[in-house]
Each structure stands twice: as structure tokens, then as C-alpha cells.
Structure 1
Amino acid sequence: MLPPSRNVAHYGLAWLVLVLATLAGAAWWWNIGRAVTLPDAPSDRIACVSYAPFRKPGETPYNLHFVMTPERINEDLRALSQRFDCVRTYSQSNGLSAVPAIAARYHMQVLMGIWLGGVEKLNEKEIATGIATANANPASIRGIVVGNEVLLRGELSPKRLTEYIQTVRAATPKSIPVTYADVWERWLKYPQMANAVDFVTIHILPYWEDNPVQAPDAVQHVEDVYAHMQKVFPGKQLMIGETGWPSAGRLRRSAEPSIVDEALYLRDFLRYAANVNMPYNVIEAFDQPWKRAQEGTVGGYWGIFDSNAQPKFPMRGPVTEEPRWWLGWLAGVVSALAFVVVGSWDRKWRGIKGWLALLLAGFAAGTSAAWQWRQMMFACTAPWEWLLSSVCLVGGLCVAAVLARRIAAHLADHHDHSEPARWWRFGSLFALVLYDILMAFDGRYLDFPMGLFLLPCVAYAVFGLLTHERSMPSVEQRFMACVGPLLAIAPVVAEVGMNKVAWLWLGMNLAIAIPVLVAWRCHAGYLKTKQA
């Protein structure tokens, strides 16, 4: 065993980490609670918006047997008619073939979608229903979108898609134009598709670009792409079939999903669209919880309204990211008091420094846990997700609280040489490395659970500053301490160093790994000296 060691510089650094963690937690919650002044939109009305009614738990278009009631569609369109002149649909199944007739009641038009995929039988059924719907409601249909991003998904060839478009055009009124919708890059790859449609419908989503664009620059990107596409398809009418910004989810390089950025983007885009008199459609009317399984957390938060049909932000005046930001501070205060209670049990130290350490550690842990809980509210849908996330969060808080007891004892100048149960750190390292693997090899749609892993990582980093481990870390912990930071480099590289959260994730891996590596080195040197 190594003898205990004390280092004044390390004690000072430990205090600094505790203070900075406390201030960071308080500042983050204050920042998302402040009102941000943004330019106003020219109007509350929007020309057209994507409409999918699957906004309640369990509702999904993947369930082909689920049929949305006409009453529910009527309720939605009655509300949407107050702000939108048109809605875009994507399929004829799940009861959506009723949309054009109901929209006519509220003097709305429909950009009617026919969903195409790789199954011929389903495609034929969609087309037959779409043709019947168009012929029954010609006055309320602005256009027919035959297929949505089916070339992007690789489910149809351009030739077969063209045949479907021709079938629909031949069987529907000539007054209704027919188009196909896909991301703008696919139109550049298959420019021949422009000959098959009456107008070109392009999707421009700055957040999802291969090179994501941050919200303040996103509308300029849209302008550039639109101008380029006009040059590629001269004489052909262009419509932006999808554009928008998410309000929650993971950061992609410098493109950050947030309510403030969604409001900024939409207001900027509406001013641009009004100036150039351009046909457009915004994605989307309501948040879609079912999309989280497909695109990660961010997929469920592109709505102008939330899943309860409430507007997420105004079109004029300042915008606040989190009106209840003070709950984060409240969680910090409650956690600080809880840490004091835990730390006072069977204590052998005396002095104000120990109490101060507990208060700082508790407040920082509480604000971090509250951050994670807020993320869980966005990300978790199924009961097992809530259960797993909650268990992990409680486990992280317990580890942080137990370590805070020992940290407080050391900072109170008490010679406490006890060490926490080793399986706690083993479990923290194992969970972290497991998530590192997921992030490294399939992290496009995964969130960074910062609030969860900050608890054990920072706690073990501070504890490592204050004391040497008295025995060699296990070979498994040494292995994970080496592998974790290496894996954590992958998201940094994938985001070309522009994602601040990816850097913080790497820092967390280093925080928990370095004490293990230092202990390994010290024990190896000690054993070598002892043998000599």
C-alpha cells in the first residue's frame, strides 16, 4: 500500500473545482431563464405548415391500423386555421385522407402528400386513395406531393418514382399541380426529376445539413441554397417544402436546438420569405413524440406548437428558454441541505471548511441533477426509459453524496484515509465507457447525458486530488480509464471540434480517468522501488 499524502496545491485546486462547479450550475440555469430580445416576425400568420396529428403518447404512423378520428383532425385544423393558410400532409393512411374535406370548412388549402416506400402493394394503395381524395376535393388541394424523400432513403429508383408521378397526374384534375419533395442535394443528384413534376419542392433544414449551420446564419444559408437551385432549374417554379428549427435535442457542431433559436430562425425566415414572395412550408405544426425513436430527442421537437397544442414562443417580443429556471436553483438548495445532512452523519471532522465543501458540492450536484431531469423530460417516452434514467440519476447522486462526505473531511483537515467502495467507481466507469462506445460508433442521434455523468466524474476528480489511493486500481478500471478518453475523442473529431458539449464530454472522461491512471503510475513506481 502507498502511504497517505497531502498536497497544498491539490487542496487549493479542489476548492477551485467546487466553486467553479457551483457557479457554473447557477449561471446555466440563470442563463436559460433570461428573456432574449429577438427581431419580430412580420406577421403571426404563416403560409403553410406540415401537419401530422400524431402528437399524443402512443400515436404513430408506423401503426398502419391506427386511424385518427375526423373529430380530432377537425379540432386541430380549426385551431391551425387561426394562423395558417395551408397545411401539408405526408400520407393518405391513418385517417389523413379526410384532411382536405375538413380543411375546406376553415377555408384552408392542403398540400396533399402521398407516401411512397419500398413496398409496391402499399404504394399502390396510397396512390389509389390519394387519387380518390384529390378528385373528391379539387378546390381545397393546392398541390399533390407524390413521395417524400424516397430517393434520399433509397427506397425507389428515379424511374419508378417518375412512373408513380405520371400515374397520379393522369388520374387527377389538371388544375392540381403534382410535385415530388426531397432535400435539395438529392435534386442536384437527380436533376432529371424536374422534368417529371410541375414544380420543384426542396427541403432546406440547416440543422440537418452535412455541415450544420447555426441559427443566426441559417436563413442566409437558405437564401444561398434557394438562389443556387434557381440557377440549376431555370424557368421551373421552386417551393421550399420543409424548413424549420428544433427546440430541443443534441448540439450538432454549432447548431443548437432551443426555443430561442427556433424563434430566431422562424422570425428571420418569415421576413426573408415575405421579401422574395416565395412559396414555402414550415415544418411543423405540432411536436411529434414518435419521431424521437427515429431521429433521437431532436426529432420530436420541430413543432411551432408543443404536443399539447400550445405555442412554444411568441412571434413578437422577447423569448425565454425556460420560464421556470428558478427550479434549478431550488434543486441546488435542496441538494445542498441534503448533502449537509448526509455529511454530518457520524462525522469525525470539525470546522467551517467541511460544511462549506458540503454546501458547494450539494448545490453543484443539485443543479446538475435538475439539468439531467429536464433532459429526461424531453428525451424519455417509454416507461423503461424513465425507469432506467431515474435509477442512473439516483445512483449518480448517491455516489456524489458519499464522496462529498470524504471530500469535506479532507478539506476540513481531517486525516480520513478511508476509500469509497470500489465498485461505485467501477460502475461509473463502466456506464461511461459503454455510452462512449455508443457515441463513438453510432452517435448521430444520441444526446450527451451531461447532468448524469458530471456527478460521479467531477466527484471522483476532486476526491482524487485530495488523496492517494491506498491500493492498485483493478485491471478493469485501468483498462476503462485508458479506453474511455480515447473513445470520447471520436465525437470531438466527428463534430470537427466545433461542438462545445463534445469537448465537455471528453473532459468528463478525463476527470474520472486521470485519478485512476495516476494511482496506477504511483503504485507501479512504488512497487518497483520496493522490489529494488
Structure 2
Amino acid sequence: MSFSPASRSRRLVAWLVLVLLVLAGAAWWWLVGRPVDLPDAPSARIACVSYAPFREPGETPLDPNAFVSPQRIDADLRALSERFDCVRTYSQGQGLSAVPGIAARYHMQVLMGIWLGRDAKANAEQIALGIATARKYPQVLRGVIVGNEVLLRGELSGAQIADALHQVRAALPAGIPVSYADVWEYWLRHPELADAVDLVTIHILPYWEDQPVPPERAIQHVEEVYGKVRRAFPGKRVMIGETGWPSEGRPRRSANASVVNEARYLREFLRYAASVDMPYNVIEAFDQPWKRAQEGTVGGYWGIFDVQAQPKFAMQGPVVEVPRWWLGWLAGAAGAGLFVLAGLRRRRWQRGRGWLALGLAGFASGAALAWQWRQMAYACRDAWEWTLSLAACLAALFTALRLASWLAGRLAGAPFKPAPAGRLRFAWLFVLALYGLLLVFDGRYRDFPLGLLELPCAGYALVAWLDERMRAPSREALFLAAWLLVLAAVVVAQELGENPVTWLWLALNLLIAAPVFAAWRRARFVPTAAGTMLDDPR
């Protein structure tokens, strides 16, 4: 069949886009595998680190029946003693009251936590157990922290927390400091609590600030906040009870969760802490999978060590985000092979152009799905989430194979065949609109599935570019396409345009939505030979 000059120019653009998608996928995987030079920490040792042993599958401190054996705590503290001088705990019970006694074996100190919440009976039990433990191991305790972010959660009033502090303070041996820990803003809102504590314990987490702070300005932010709180409480010693950076999860504005940024923040914080007389505690020793239920993917990845107790990075030398980056290239090659094999049933390719198109589309799809798989490995918490995520990946792969087959035939000069659209495209429009709603109204802890959605969005955009028919979309498809752009623009605006990932999200929505409007416009204003408008019955 012959092609018009417009068709030829469109085919050239389509070839260029396919090549760029391949290069983008290959370059992305290569870049995340490059070593990043960072300033060294002054030492691999850290003064104190938050310790919670709940990292086995299904374990959570929210389960009242959860229990951690002294043997596990002993193994953890033996390993942690090689890097840390102190551990901070958050509650009593569930086996954690054994921490001070075990820490003493390894010449460690403990910032012992007493958990406070809404339940007055549970609070009384925690206080009684904490007092008993403190009296038994006074020489091990660096301090006792009564309540953690209770004001942030809105579970008790400042007066109730002060009563608990006075009760504990009166019952402890002399010389053990008593404190309460919360996000630094809440201390400024409740200065009356200072009279009930020996030191003010604040949390400074630049990633979680209401105005997220990027890693390059994070230490400056810590310094400013620390100075502000010290000025607000003259005569009181101020301790940073939590600070750190997550290694995985969604970006917040320009604050990106990554291994490189976690290493950068901790190294720079340790350099800063070494230059001032400041007690501090880093969050946290081990990744905590249970936190993903409360805080999304990012909640589970604040650890210096992963759930297997392996360090994520060293405190000196370059840091690599994805050491096995070449697996992304391997996935791209596998995708190329799969797409070519899927095309064997068609015999209309000319001079290898069709096979080349299939290979390019397959490599781009494989590299994108590999990134989505990596995100799933960090985000999925249970069998249901894995099943749903795998089903979505298979649907995206099926869609990409179907679209690539049509594209290859068009680029190879095969006889014209109607482009695949209709119900399948409508389903992806619906999925994008639904997820867009979730991002707008409940997006704080949601990841962006860019790798998954690149396949249908880029695929339908290329198909629409090469499809010379004028088929009007359904009203429902038009409605969804319009909402896609509105919702995606709101997501960008919510993060003040500072989050590059939200712009990529907007771009994917635009890729699949714009052809819907273009088809509607062409079908509306260009009549058929019979004087009627073409419509897509699907």
C-alpha cells in the first residue's frame, strides 16, 4: 500500500519516539546504577538509634499479642553494639522490657520509652512496667521518654501528658532524665510541658515536614529548627529524638526518598552533630514493614539496616542506588524477545522493519515493567496486593503487545487494519481516572505507578498518531479523558510543581487523553462521504 507524505512523516516521528523510549529506559537503569560521591561521615559509629524488633513478616507492635523473645533482642543488640552506643525504645511489654538488661551485656545505654495513648488502663500498665524496669537497670538508662508524638496523634492533652511525666519522674531514682518526645512544632505549641521534663526531645524529619525540605537543604533546616527550639526553652537541654531519611517511597515535592539521599542525609547530619554539643537519636536501626500500613511504602524504609539486618550503605565512599542495575537492561532484552516471538504469527513484516518495531517496543516495555516490579517489591504488603499488582502488570503487558503488533504492521507497510482501541482503552482511562482521584484526595502515602502505566499511555498515543481514521470516541471516554487532565494537574499543583514525578504523571495522562480529544474533534468537524460523522461503537 502507498503512504502519503503526511503518513511517511508520521512514521518517522513514531520511529523516533520508539528509539527515544528505548534510550530513556536504558539510560534510566544505567544512571541509577552509577556510584554517587558523597561526603564521608566522621565515623561509622552513631550515638543512638531507634530500635524496634518487629521486622518479621506479619509482625506489628499494634498486635497486643505480639512478643519478641529475649534471644532475638540479644542477637539484635549484639550486632547493633558494633555501630551504636545507645538504642531508643518506644514502649514496654511485648518483650521490650528486656532491652535494658540485654543492652548492659554489650555496654550500651538505652533511651527507654513508655508508650501513651487513648487507653488509660494501657497507659497505667505501661507506666508501672516502665518504672519497674528503670528501677532495676538505672545505670543503663540514658533517659526515660514518656509518650511519643501523642499530641501529634491527638490522643491526650498536654495536661494529661504532664501528669504522666510527673508520676514517672517522682518514681524514678535520682539522675535519670525524664522527657516527652514529639514533632518540634508541637513543643512550640505546648511550652507548658517543659516544666515537667528534664530535657526537651524533638523530632526533626525534613522529609515529613508540612513544607518538605530537599536533601541538599535538610541539614540547614535541622540547624535552624534546633536553634529555634533552644531559644524557645532557655535553660533546658534539647535533644533530637528522631531524625533520618527514607530510602524508598514516593517523593514529597523535591524531597525524594532514595538510598543515596538517606546516606547523604545521615552522613551530613553526623558531621553536623559532631560539630555541636547536641544529644541525638537517629531513626531507625531496622526497616519496619508494618509501618507501610500506616504511612505507605515510605513508612517501611527508614532503617539504616534492611529487614535482613544488612546495611543499606556505608558511611564512607560512594553510594549506589541500584547495585544490580543491569537487571533492567536484561528485562528490556527479555521484553524485546517476547514481543518478537509474539509477532511470529504474523507474516506481513517487510524488510525487518516490523521486527525492529516489535523489538524496540518490547525493550521499552520490559525496562518499564522492571521498574514497576522493583516498586512492587518494596510496596506490596500481602498476597492481595501482590495479586492485584501482578494482574495490573499482565494487563499492561497484554495491552502493549496488542498495540505493538498493530504499530509494527503500520510501520512495516502491512495492509491497513483497524487500530485497537475501544473497550480496552476505556478501561485504562477508567483506571487512570480512579487512581487520579485517590492521588488528589488521599495521595499522601500513595506511590506513582509510572512504570506500569507507561505501556498503555505511550502505546495508545503512538497508535493514535499513526491511525488516520476519524473515529469519534464515546461520551464516556471523553468525560474520563477530561477528568484525567484535571486530576493530574491538581496533583502537580498540590506539590507546587516541585515534584518531577507529578509532571511525569501529568505527561502520561496527557498521552492517553489528548488522542481522545483529537479523535473527537476530527470526527466532529470532518464529515464522511455520506455526510455523517464516524463514531467508535466500542
Aligned match of 1:164: 164
State how far apart, in whole Å, the 2-side matches of 1:273 and 1:142 are.
18
Aligned match of 1:293: 293
- The superposition leaves residues 458-507 of structure 1 with CA deviations (integer Å, 9 ceiling, x where unpaired) of 00011110004553222221211111111111210111000000000011
Aligned match of 2:450: 450
Normalising by structure 1, what TM-score? 0.97
- The superposition leaves residues 391-419 of structure 1 with CA deviations (integer Å, 9 ceiling, x where unpaired) of 10011011111100111111122332322
Which amino acid in 2 is paired with 1:240? I
The alpha carbon displacement at 1:531 in A equals 5.2
What is the DSSP-based 3-state SS (H/G/I as helix, E as strand, rest coil) of the residue aligned with 1:200?
Answer: strand
Tell me whether 493-502 or 353-362 shows the greater mean CA deviation: 353-362
The alpha carbon displacement at 1:287 in A equals 0.2
Aligned match of 1:149: 149
1:289-438 mapped onto 2 (5 Å cutoff):
289-420=289-420, 422-438=422-438
Aligned match of 1:283: 283
Identity rate of aligned residues, in percent? 60
State how far apart, in whole Å, the 2-side matches of 1:396 and 1:381 are.
21
Structure 1 residue 519 corresponds to structure 2 residue 510: no
State how far apart, in whole Å, the 1-side matches of 2:91 and 2:532 are.
75
Aligned match of 2:536: none
Which amino acid in 2 is paired with 1:453? L
State how far apart, in whole Å, the 1-side matches of 2:519 and 2:93 are.
62
The alpha carbon displacement at 1:143 in A equals 0.5
Aligned match of 1:466: 466
The alpha carbon displacement at 1:235 in A equals 1.5
State how far apart, in whole Å, the 1-side matches of 2:407 and 2:277 are.
63
1:128-147 mapped onto 2 (5 Å cutoff):
128-147=128-147
Tell me whether 81-90 or 32-41 shows the greater mean CA deviation: 32-41
Q: Is the 8 A contact 1:64 1:93 kept in 2?
A: no
Structure 1 residue 475 corresponds to structure 2 residue 485: no
State how far apart, in whole Å, the 2-side matches of 1:491 and 1:387 are.
27
What is the DSSP-based 3-state SS (H/G/I as helix, E as strand, rest coil) of the residue aligned with 1:98?
Answer: helix
- The superposition leaves residues 222-263 of structure 1 with CA deviations (integer Å, 9 ceiling, x where unpaired) of 111111111111121010000000000001111111111111
Aligned match of 2:193: 193
Aligned match of 1:202: 202
The alpha carbon displacement at 1:87 in A equals 0.2
Aligned match of 1:231: 231
Aligned match of 1:243: 243
- The superposition leaves residues 9-31 of structure 1 with CA deviations (integer Å, 9 ceiling, x where unpaired) of 43232222211111110011001
Which amino acid in 1 is paired with 2:397? L
Which amino acid in 1 is paired with 2:187? W
What is the DSSP-based 3-state SS (H/G/I as helix, E as strand, rest coil) of the residue aligned with 2:79?
Answer: helix
Q: Is the 8 A contact 2:482 2:513 kept in 1?
A: yes
State how far apart, in whole Å, the 1-side matches of 2:522 and 2:214 are.
45
Aligned match of 1:211: 211
Tell me whether 265-274 or 6-15 shows the greater mean CA deviation: 6-15
Q: Is the 8 A contact 2:471 2:520 kept in 1?
A: no
Q: Is the 8 A contact 2:419 2:463 kept in 1?
A: no
What is the DSSP-based 3-state SS (H/G/I as helix, E as strand, rest coil) of the residue aligned with 1:82?
Answer: coil
Which amino acid in 1 is paired with 2:218? A
What is the DSSP-based 3-state SS (H/G/I as helix, E as strand, rest coil) of the residue aligned with 2:486?
Answer: helix
The CA RMSD measured in Å over matched residues stands at 1.5
Which amino acid in 2 is paired with 1:475? R
Aligned match of 2:102: 102
Aligned match of 2:93: 93
What is the DSSP-based 3-state SS (H/G/I as helix, E as strand, rest coil) of the residue aligned with 2:526?
Answer: helix
The alpha carbon displacement at 1:78 in A equals 0.6
What is the DSSP-based 3-state SS (H/G/I as helix, E as strand, rest coil) of the residue aligned with 1:357?
Answer: helix
The alpha carbon displacement at 1:5 in A equals 11
What is the DSSP-based 3-state SS (H/G/I as helix, E as strand, rest coil) of the residue aligned with 2:254?
Answer: coil
State how far apart, in whole Å, the 2-side matches of 1:531 and 1:355 are.
38
State how far apart, in whole Å, the 2-side matches of 1:194 and 1:310 are.
39
The alpha carbon displacement at 1:6 in A equals 5.5
Tell me whether 249-258 or 349-358 shows the greater mean CA deviation: 349-358
The alpha carbon displacement at 1:48 in A equals 0.1
State how far apart, in whole Å, the 2-side matches of 1:194 and 1:11 are.
71
The alpha carbon displacement at 1:385 in A equals 0.6
The alpha carbon displacement at 1:515 in A equals 1.1
1:27-176 mapped onto 2 (5 Å cutoff):
27-176=27-176
Q: Is the 8 A contact 1:177 1:198 kept in 2?
A: yes
Normalising by structure 2, what TM-score? 0.96
State how far apart, in whole Å, the 2-side matches of 1:456 and 1:478 are.
17
Q: Is the 8 A contact 1:246 1:259 kept in 2?
A: yes
State how far apart, in whole Å, the 2-side matches of 1:373 and 1:9 are.
36
Q: Is the 8 A contact 2:470 2:522 kept in 1?
A: no
The alpha carbon displacement at 1:7 in A equals 3.4
State how far apart, in whole Å, the 2-side matches of 1:421 and 1:436 are.
21
State how far apart, in whole Å, the 2-side matches of 1:298 and 1:328 are.
22
Q: Is the 8 A contact 1:468 1:519 kept in 2?
A: no
Identify the structure with bigger relative contact order (alpha carbons < 8 Å, sequence gap 6+): 1
Q: Is the 8 A contact 1:350 1:412 kept in 2?
A: yes
- The change in CA–CA distance for 1:97 and 1:356 in structure 2 (over 3 A counts) is same
Number of residue equivalences: 529
What is the DSSP-based 3-state SS (H/G/I as helix, E as strand, rest coil) of the residue aligned with 1:365?
Answer: helix
Q: Is the 8 A contact 1:436 1:484 kept in 2?
A: yes
What is the DSSP-based 3-state SS (H/G/I as helix, E as strand, rest coil) of the residue aligned with 2:94?
Answer: coil
Which amino acid in 1 is paired with 2:500? K
State how far apart, in whole Å, the 1-side matches of 2:141 and 2:124 are.
20
State how far apart, in whole Å, the 1-side matches of 2:38 and 2:513 are.
43
State how far apart, in whole Å, the 2-side matches of 1:350 and 1:40 are.
57
